[in-house]
Amino acid sequence: MKTRRDFLTQAPLGLLGAVVAGSALAQAGQNPAPTTPPPGSPGAFNTAPPAGPKLTTATFAEAEKLQQVTMTEAQREMAVASWPTSMAALLERRTGPRKVALEEGLAPATTWFPAMGRAHVGPAHDRFAPSRVAATPLPAKDEDIAFASVAQLGAWIRARKLSSTRLTKIYLERLKRFDPQLRCVITLCEEHALAQAAQADKEISAGHYRGPLHGIPWGAKDLLDTAGIATTYGAEPFKHRVPKDDGAVTRKLNEAGAVLLAKLSLGALALNDIWFGGQTMNPWLLKEGASGSSAGPASATAAGLVAFAIGSETQGSIISPCMRCGTTGLRPTYGRVPRTGAMTLCWTMDKLGPIARSVEDTLLVLDAIRGTDPGDSASVAAHLDYDAAAPIKGLKVGYFPGWMKEAPATELDRAALEQLRALGLVPTEVSLPDWPYDDLNVLLFAESAAAFEELTLSGEADHMRVQTPDAWPNLFRESRFLSAVDFVQADRLRRKMAKEMERVMGEVDLLLVPSLRDEMMVISNMSGHPSLTLRTGFVEVDQVRSDWAPDPKHPLPKLARPHRVPYGVTLVGRLFEEGTLGRVGRALEAKVAVAGERPPGF
């Protein structure tokens, strides 16, 4: 192994003179024999064996433009001489000769903890008391059964008015019938589902009822590992990837007795709604995508093809498709749900959460999937306190006055605030500093590029379907040129921002925000706060909507007439206080009374 000390004793002084100031012999062009430094001499920076390609001052002059810094010509000359023996050698891990493979699932040494050292965050105790749902007479139509809530389906199954096998067959038939329109399924797990359903029926008949998800069919965003069943990430390079083990959430749902129906689509590598099989569509408006990246889970749930689904969010991937498809999405506090066996995009931001057709359903699922797992160092054993009957009167709901007055807020956002006031909550103005929050995305881009380094450097990313400037292949390549210094500074800004969110959440019990407000999408995902997105009404659109950057060469099509589509708001809660979101969200859901409307044709 070459060390700095080896280099000092073995390297020609002519080379050292190019990188170590003060060598008169080297400046005279001499090349004396190596010398041994006196015992006890420390090593030194800038003395590694030279590595990398030849550089010129023009190399640095051009690189300065990427980072928006400026050096003098003398400083560039020094950098040209020293870079091969100072910085270039730091890339040996991937350039060789001693390459080190970083296996999938290996997390960075540093971990983000939203509590930032506070010992007591979230509820003081566990309490899970959902509403009581009666086993009403079973509807005559399969369609009405398919659109029933998880809670209602569970009541029927527990009372043996409905078998898991019959329910599973209803959903399988609907998946086969409607997937050609929606393109929401990557892998249909028919045999697996029927076997799990039969087992659930057998256990329930024997009196072994596991809980509210026993026998309930669900769909998994296809970044969640399933043993022996393909998990493709929606991307061409992973089409034939078959994991050996279940992910932690898959395992927890298996233990709850849930029935896996299908691996549902996601935008490739968790971006937007286009995967290797095409674009997943919005059941409310089949001319537009379902939004992403949890496109399949939102589309399938909205169309009544599954009882619930598991999605994921790094920055908007539960909120956005739930807005588009009119579903309910619960993004848990960072660390609440273990991510072992789920595709990594960003270690310090990824979150797994439920997508359903009602607020309480998301809490039923959260209770089953929460907890710790040794494979996820960020997972925590936090309490969950949800009592559907607990009062909400007097809770303070924070809002940002300026945000509520301008786009993307609509009259429905403003109406939701008044509806919460009518429910007894106290609207309270809050504010955050006017900082460049998008700068925090240095962390998003650097982490994601690191997660898919081999895919990028091998050229495999070039085979992905979408190659636009705002797609991952280009963003991964560009991210190679982000500054490590700016990464650290963004991390420091993250802590500063999180302290501001701590202040705001100390003033109120929850926030009401326009769901697609960019600042809060970045802030709350970076701080790790939980959110609940739910439908509160409908708006009319006269143009197809898209997640992708505008392309003047391919403008989005206009609609022949305005089209009525769902619209919702987002509640942001205190860390680990998803129970409060559930109580308030459930009351708002009942107040606006629009959750039961179904997309036409499904």
Report the catalytic residues: 221, 293, 317
Tokens of residue 57, six digits: 């001052």
CA nearest 225: which of 213, 237, 236, 238?
238
CA 342 to CA 223: how far, in whole Å?
6
**Is the backbone peptide bond immediately before 401 cis, with ω within 30 degrees of 0?**
no
Alpha carbon distances (Å) from 23 to 19, 29, 373, 481, 588 = 9, 10, 56, 33, 76
Token digits for 17?
């003179």
CA angle, corner 363, sides to 362 and 367, nearest 5?
A: 120
Burial 189-215 (b: 16+ CB within 10 A, else e): beebbbebbeebbebbeeeebeebbbb
Whether residue 218 contacts residue 257, with contact meaning beta carbons closer than 8 Å, is answered with no
Distance CA 498, CA 207 (A): 48
> What CA–CA distance (Å, rounded) separates 592 from 415?
10
Judge contact between 486 and 452, C-beta under 8 A: no
- What is the number of other CB atoms lying within 10 angstroms of the CB of residue 489? 13
Q: Are strands 308-313 and 385-387 parallel, antiparallel or unpaired?
A: unpaired
Q: How far is residue 590's CA from residue 593's CA, in Å, rounded to a whole number?
A: 5
Distance of CA 5 to the CA centre of its chain: 45
- Across the strands, what pairs with 308? 218
Query: What distance in Å separates the CA atoms of residue 361 and residue 313, rounded to the nearest whole number?
Result: 18
φ, ψ at 70 (rounded to 5°)? -135, 130
Site of tokens 């959430």: 249
